[in-house]
């Protein structure tokens, strides 16, 4: 029996590539996509990477380079990227029996059953060409006998131009050669903390880690790292689930456009996060049993910062925005402290249940009013999803200017707003 085989398909500089699909004048030029509030670099074109600009760097520190190299800045346009990502994964699902959408710009394919019938390198090149032709997005493909090695292969496909975007890492000797020149911190699952600890143990390269006893790694770290070691050894330890587990939590949080110093503004912001979180929850057809709120001042304050979190179980699991707002408001008031300049807040929903399995409360509310709640929320989602406008909750509208986010260099919503669809002339 042949060993398992997985491919990782990864879009190059995803956000920048999306912008370029609709604005080809950006091709070949240095482009940065900045996060919400236009403050932080979240995606870089290869030209920008070559200059040495790091992921996550704040824009205000980059002004000299931006001037010198004529770097073009775009605000992040998540509805455009989401729509492009959906097309990307639709195409992939036609090209492999099992697909795991790992993130907005990456997917694993299970090619195990195709090995007997196809030349996998050729198949991988076909995947690359098809995605490019049908979406305009450039991708790299790496494949190997485990997910961690596939990840390593796709990284090599990006790094070495000679690979022309496809790397076959199924051969064990080749695996060892690549791992020998890969620093341990570049392995999927090894972050800065673990890398430091591994180096202190004398493990510098991926190959050295692969040659370490997995049970030793387990005792010093955790089962997660043990799995990583076994993956590097070529055993397929992670499998791709055909039905991915349901989400376990929903977080909505954002940095503010300007500092928030008034409780009313904070309540408005938190309310609007609850509204979005509840929409996501209903789209998953779930109800939540627990809600948390967190708020914080700048992480970069020398002293006098404040950050806190509070959570509460809901009286009854719900997806009704109104009930969630009541709970979030109570928690926000509890956390609020005058005299601070808040930079960020968020809400988190957890403890999800299936609404159909939830027992109705015998005492307070009858089944009829629960039916009404659901009908109201359905109507709300339907109107808000129609593109005709949005119904909002009263508290959201108070002074949005004071906390709403800045996106001054936003590209049009080419794929999700009729008025923004590009014209071919």
Partner DNA sequence: TCTGGGGTCCTAGGACCC
How many Å apart are CA 146 and CA 113, to the nearest integer?
Answer: 14
Q: Minimum Å distance from CB 108 to DNA?
A: 11
DSSP for residue 422: P
Q: Is 108 helix (H, G, I), strand (E, B) or coil?
A: strand
**Pick 24 or 245: Cβ nearer DNA:** 245
Q: Minimum Å distance from CB 197 to DNA?
A: 8
Q: Minimum Å distance from CB 248 to DNA?
A: 4
Q: Minimum Å distance from CB 402 to DNA?
A: 15
Q: Minimum Å distance from CB 187 to DNA?
A: 7
Q: Minimum Å distance from CB 186 to DNA?
A: 8
Residue listed under structure tokens 């929850």 = 281
**Pick 163 or 310: Cβ nearer DNA:** 310
Q: Minimum Å distance from CB 405 to DNA?
A: 7
Tally of CA atoms within 13 A in the half-sphere of 117 that contains its CB: 5
Contact 312, 329 (CB under 8 A): no
Comparing CA positions, the residue from 120, 88, 122 lying closest to residue 102 is 88
* 349: its two tokens: 């929903």
Alpha carbon of 396 to those of 21, 76, 78, 263, 408: distances in Å? Answer: 35, 23, 21, 13, 22
DSSP for residue 25: G
**Pick 114 or 138: Cβ nearer DNA:** 138
Residue listed under structure tokens 């509840």 = 278
Backbone torsions φ then ψ of 172, nearest 5 degrees: -60, -40
Q: Looking at the DSSP assignment, which residues form a beta bridge with residue 342?
A: 260, 297
Q: Cβ-count burial of 136 within 10 angstroms (0-12 exposed, 13-18 middle, 19+ buried)?
A: middle
**Pick 311 or 413: Cβ nearer DNA:** 311
**Pick 7 or 187: Cβ nearer DNA:** 187
Contact 252, 271 (CB under 8 A): no
**Pick 301 or 375: Cβ nearer DNA:** 301
Interface residues with DNA (CB under 7 A) are 35-37, 39-40, 42, 55-58, 60, 102-106, 151, 187-195, 222-224, 245, 247-255, 259, 276, 280, 290, 298-300, 309, 311, 313, 343-344, 346, 351, 405
Helix (H) or strand (E) holding 315: strand 307-318
**Pick 254 or 282: Cβ nearer DNA:** 254
**Pick 20 or 237: Cβ nearer DNA:** 237
Q: Minimum Å distance from CB 56 to DNA?
A: 5
């Amino acid at each position: 029996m042949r060993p398992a085989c997985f491919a990782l398909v990864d879009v190059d500089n995803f956000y920048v590539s999306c912008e370029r699909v609709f604005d080809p004048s950006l091709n070949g030029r240095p482009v940065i996509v900045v996060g919400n509030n236009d403050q932080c670099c979240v995606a870089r074109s290869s030209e920008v990477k070559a200059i040495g600009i790091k992921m996550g760097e704040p824009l205000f520190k980059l002004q000299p380079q931006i001037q010198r190299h004529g770097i073009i800045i775009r605000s992040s346009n998540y509805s455009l990227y989401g729509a492009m990502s959906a097309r990307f994964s639709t195409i992939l699902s036609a090209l492999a029996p099992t697909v795991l959408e790992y993130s907005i710009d990456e997917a694993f394919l299970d090619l195990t059953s195709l090995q007997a019938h196809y030349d996998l390198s050729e198949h991988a090149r076909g995947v690359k060409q098809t995605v490019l032709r049908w979406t305009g997005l450039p991708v790299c493909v790496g494949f190997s006998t485990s997910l961690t090695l596939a990840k390593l292969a796709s990284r090599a496909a990006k790094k070495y131009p000679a690979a022309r975007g496809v790397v076959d890492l199924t051969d064990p000797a080749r695996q060892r050669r690549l791992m020998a020149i890969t620093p341990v911190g570049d392995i999927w699952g090894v972050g800065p903390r673990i890398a430091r600890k591994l180096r202190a143990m004398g493990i510098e390269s991926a190959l050295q880690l692969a040659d370490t006893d997995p049970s030793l790694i387990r005792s010093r770290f955790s089962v997660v790292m043990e799995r990583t070691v076994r993956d590097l050894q070529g055993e397929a330890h992670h499998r791709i689930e055909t039905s991915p587990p349901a989400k376990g939590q929903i977080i909505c949080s954002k940095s503010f456009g300007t500092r928030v110093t008034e409780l009313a503004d904070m309540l408005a912001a938190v309310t609007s996060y609850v509204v979005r979180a509840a929409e996501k929850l209903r789209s998953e057809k779930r109800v939540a049993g627990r809600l948390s709120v967190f708020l914080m001042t700048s992480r970069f304050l020398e002293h006098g910062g404040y950050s806190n979190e509070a959570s509460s179980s809901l009286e009854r699991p719900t997806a009704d925005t109104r009930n969630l707002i009541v709970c979030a408001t109570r928690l926000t008031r509890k956390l609020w402290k005058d005299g601070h300049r808040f930079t960020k807040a968020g809400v988190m929903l957890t403890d999800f249940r299936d609404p159909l399995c939830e027992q109705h409360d015998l005492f307070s509310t009858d089944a009829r009013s629960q039916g009404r709640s659901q009908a109201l929320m359905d109507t709300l989602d339907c109107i808000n999803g129609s593109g005709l406008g949005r119904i909002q909750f009263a508290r959201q509208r108070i002074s949005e200017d004071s906390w709403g986010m800045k996106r001054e260099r936003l590209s049009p919503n080419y794929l999700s707003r009729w008025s923004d669809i590009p014209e071919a002339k």
